[in-house]
Structure 1
Amino acid sequence: MTQSQSEKKDIPVNIYRPNNPFVGKCISNEVLVRPGAQGDTRHVKFDLSGGDLRYLEGQSIGIVPPGEDKNGKPHKLRLYSIASTRHGDDGDDKTISLSVKRLEYKHPETGETVLGVCSNHICDLKPGDEVKITGPVGKEMLLPDDPTATIIMIATGTGIAPFRAFLWRMFKETHPDYKFKGLAWLFFGVPTDSALLYKPDLEWLAYKHKKHFRLDKAISREQKNEKGEKMYIQNRMAEYADELWDLFQKPNTHTYMCGLRGMEDGIAEFMVSTAAKNGTEWKVFEKQMKSEGRWHVETY
């Protein structure tokens, strides 16, 4: 998106701040993964009625966990990508949803199980429980206004959240002023099929909107790449290297990447070799795409 476009857009930012958060209520908390998946990932929906919080697809909100840290200070907020469209999952502008994985790991020195403060707070919420919300924040991941754009989305794990919002806006809702006629292409990487978040919805959208939505999965522990090794997201993209490279050249192609920071190296590797094959240096081309507002990255 060019600067003039983003200026024209009414982008809500920090309607609620940490010192005065919006107190919403949990409406529902659903397990997203299926038996056999590692860990616990939830789709959690909050009620926003009674407040002024509004947001756009691609933005994030802050959640302030209750209680204090070991120094007796209130816990700091954590940011989460919003998984619902601006109209919410119920289409009434009164809800907001997140995709949250429960953080649980072994302490490297003590071997004790450590629980992420905020993710566990969210994953344990029951309908009716209160939650402190700040934001929204973020202009990096917004969709362009062009309904004929090509939108390439690269996600791992809960990095699917903003792309769920994109796809629901494009294909599940009807809007008087926006009908998506371009190409949305999602590359989604997960360890096992049971960890593929929103699988039934994504597969149904891909079936129903063949002309405008393509879905490619990289399931690292269950699929092999052409070398017989684990299938990672960059290996899946490599199968379409020429087609993707052609799409990257189009001035209305936008590429979005969201997920764990570790995914960036693999994608960069793919981009470097694909650019080189086409007589271009990736760093130079990446810089150009960024300056044109067509390369959007949000990793954590």
Structure 2
Amino acid sequence: MIDLTDSGMIVAEGQSVGILPPGTDDQGRPHEARLYSVASARCGEAGQQHHVAFTIKRVVSVIDGQVYPGVCSNHVCDLRPGDPVRLTGPYGASFLLPEDPQAQFLFICTGTGIAPMRGMIEWWMRSGWATADRLMLVYGARTVRDLAYHDELALAAERGDIGLELALSRDPGKARRYVQDALAERRDRIARHLASPNAYVYLCGLVSMEAGVFDAFAAICAAAGLDWPAIEVAMRAEGRLHMETY
């Protein structure tokens, strides 16, 4: 969490902030900013105004026996309370929630792609509109231990604020399950969602999940007598399909 008090920076869920790590690269040039999605709502982390949260995975690569720590992820993970941080931004004007009390949401994410979803879910729950039949989160990871914010998301689902489907690809003793498998298992709800003119879809995470998700949408729509290519065109044109993959 970073305190933006007196910084003049105002961020909203769905946006990103650039973090400038200290030092220089191997060419002697200052490091460029790395963008991280905001993982808190516009009212601040835990309702604390100006406090913004991020979901950052420490990166350490080993190549031919040589250790290469991620420059910015390790810088942030090693920060101590009170340490200064250089920021740029915020960035992003498309991966945002609509101001529409009739909107219905399908969030699909893997790994650290939960960051913007978590901020949007927090704002959703503060909006007074939160119901599980209007927001469904499909969250993929290797195991439960890899699911950031699992406890708070499970609690939100238990309260009925959101619908939650987990897709674990390395759950011990169980078959591999990916986000497209979770979508297929909830095909009736997904078909109703895609057919609605008030439906929004947000994808965030590894780019490799895109093909599986869209293949699942096509199969689900075909079985329900819906025209997925036409639905996709309409959703893109109307700003109801949002993707941030990497």
Aligned equivalents of 2:149, 2:100: Cα separation in 1: 26
The corresponding residue for 1:291 is 237
Distance change in 2, residues 1:59/1:202 (3 Å):
same
User: Does the 8 A contact of 2:195 with 2:226 survive in 1?
Assistant: no
> Does residue 179 of structure 1 match 2:125?
no
Alignment of 1:32-111 (within 5 A): 45-107=1-63, 110-111=64-65
Q: Secondary structure at the match of 2:45?
A: coil
1:65–1:121 Cα contact (<8 Å) kept = yes
**What displacement does 1:91 show?**
2.1
**1:200-241: CA deviations, max 9, x gaps?**
111111111x2x4111101111178xxx74111110111011
Residues 170, 134 of structure 1: alpha-carbon distance in 2 compared, 3 angstrom cutoff: same
Q: Distance in 1 between matches of 2:12 and 2:46?
A: 15
- The equivalent of 1:131 in structure 2 is 85
Does the Cα contact within 8 Å between 1:57 and 1:166 map onto a contact in 2?
Answer: yes
Larger mean Cα displacement after TM superposition, 275-284 or 153-162: 275-284
> So what's the TM-score if we normalise by structure 2?
0.93
**Distance across 2 between alignment mates of 1:115 and 1:181:** 40
Code of the aligned partner of 2:170: R
Structure 1 residue 181 displacement after superposition: 4.6
Matched with 2:198 is 252
1:194 and 2:145 aligned: yes
Matches within 5 A, 1:121-270: 121-171=75-125, 173=126, 178-181=127-130, 183-208=134-159, 210=160, 212-222=161-171, 229-270=175-216
State the Cα distance separating 1:271 from its structure 2 match: 1.8
What is the distance in 1 between the residues matched to 2:65 and 2:192? 49
> Structure 1 residues 279 and 97, CA, compared in 2 at 3 Å: closer, same or farther?
same
1:173-209 CA-to-partner distances (Å, cap 9, x unmatched) read: 3xxxx4215511100001011111111111111111x
Alpha-carbon shift at residue 55 of structure 1 (Å): 1.3
AA paired with 2:141?
Answer: V
Residue 51 of structure 1 and its aligned partner are, at CA, apart by: 1.6
Provide the C-alpha distance between the structure 2 equivalents of 1:158 and 1:205, rounded to a whole number of angstroms.
19
CA displacement, residues 120-150 of structure 1 (integer Å, 9 cap, x when unaligned)? 1111111111111111111221001112311
State the one-letter code of the partner of 2:39: A
Could you tell me how far apart the structure 2 residues matched to 1:229 and 1:282 are? 28
Greater shift, 262-271 or 244-253, is seen at: 262-271
Aligned AA (1:127): P
Under a length normalisation based on structure 1, what TM-score does the superposition of the two structures give? 0.77
Following TM superposition, where does structure 1 have runs of at least 4 consecutive aligned residues deviating by more than 6 angstroms? none
- Preserved CA contact (<8 Å) 1:102 1:123: yes
Give the SS at the match of 2:54. Answer: strand
Identical pairs, percent: 39
Contact map agreement 1:140 1:297 (CA 8 A) in 2 = no
Long gaps (5+) in structure 1 = 1-44
Q: Deviation of residue 250 (structure 1)?
A: 0.9
Asked if 2 retains the 8 angstrom alpha-carbon contact of 1:188 and 1:217, the reply is yes
CA root-mean-square deviation: 1.8
The CA distance in 2 between the partners of 1:65 and 1:48, in whole Å, is: 17
Q: Which amino acid aligns with 2:122?
A: W
Distance (whole Å) between structure 2 residues aligned to residue 253 and residue 282 of structure 1:
14
